[in-house]
Amino acid sequence: MKTPAWKTMYWLVKREFWEHRGGFFWAPIITGGVFLLLNIMGIIAAEVVGSRHGISFGASGGLQRVIADMDAGDLSQVGLALDVAMYSAMGLLIVVLGFVVFFYCLGALYDDRRDRSILFWKSLPISDTSTVLSKVVSATVLAPIVAVITGIIVGMLQLLILAVTLSFHGVNVWQLLVLAHPFRVMFNLVGYIPLYVLWALPSIGWLLLCSAWARNKPFLWAVALPVATGLLVSWFGIMGLFNLPTTWFWKNIVQRGLFSVFPGSGSVFGHNGNIVHRVAGNPGMDFMDLGNTYQLLASANLWIGVVIGLGLLAGAIWFRRWRDDS
């Protein structure tokens, strides 16, 4: 009886998780723990410094009175600040996730050839297409899901730590927490993952292509080749030999090909290089709103990248099938 394709994919992705759980699982867990530790240390330091300089709100209930005197607009800003406290937990995790996905893709197909385990996997009734796609799913779905779940937990703990700290200064914890929007934050973070799958495809495709093609040092080929080409294009432009689009090349080839694995880069660079602000009432934080972020679907940059990414993945599958380092 033939194994269903979805079941094969499930076990392939599960294999990737167990073989790379250090990056997929422990990296965000440790990063989240370090983030919370640094915040607790910062709060303790602020309390100590405040007490040394006689700064205290606890005795007079000053903070509580300030909150009681706030109007609806002020309370909205407090809620926004609490949401930012939750989002801030994802800031460091996004950077870590980008590096994890980057180096995972670089080694995903190269390591199998280097340790000769490719001979075992090719002896199984698993196609090269399924193998490569399982690595794409692991990089664009599995890794972000683990990072987002970790970010949500860390964000909630961050919010709780902040509320408990303020409660020692006479602030009603429940009155404070009701101003936050934790479910909206969760929805925005989880909802961004499908968009990340599309936006990251050019980088994922390029890195997997280099991983499948390079006989050694895939990192050098993946990074040096586009950067060296960019420098060459810039040099031709400076010398006036050719009228080459230098800025366009660095933005749409080098930057797009190497850094699209970092979540959020689509919101920053997907609309003519600018962050889009369209959500009224929260200027400066609009890129965190899911409705605003999904405006990227109307960008030609996104869909051209998807097509190019699929072409690069096809190349990675071809090299996976025929590359022989023996």
Q: Please answer whether residues 295 and 271 qualify as being in contact, where contact means their C-beta atoms are separated by less than 8 angstroms.
A: yes
- Region 205-231 average pLDDT: 92
136-168 pLDDT per residue, tens: 999 999 999 999 999 999 988 988 888 888 777
The pLDDT, as a whole number, for residue 121 is: 66
User: Identity (one letter) of the amino acid at 324?
Assistant: D
132 pLDDT higher than 60: yes
What is the value of pTM for the model shown?
Answer: 0.84
Cα 212 versus chain centre, distance: 24
Other beta carbons within 10 angstroms of residue 318's beta carbon come to 15
pLDDT in tens, 55-103: 654 444 555 565 666 656 666 777 777 788 888 888 889 999 999 999 9
What is the mean predicted confidence (pLDDT) over 120-127?
75
| The pLDDT of residue 274 | 43
* 229 vs 82, higher pLDDT: 229
**What average pLDDT score do residues 4-27 get?**
90
Residue 170 Rama label (left phi>0; alpha psi -120 to 50; beta)? left
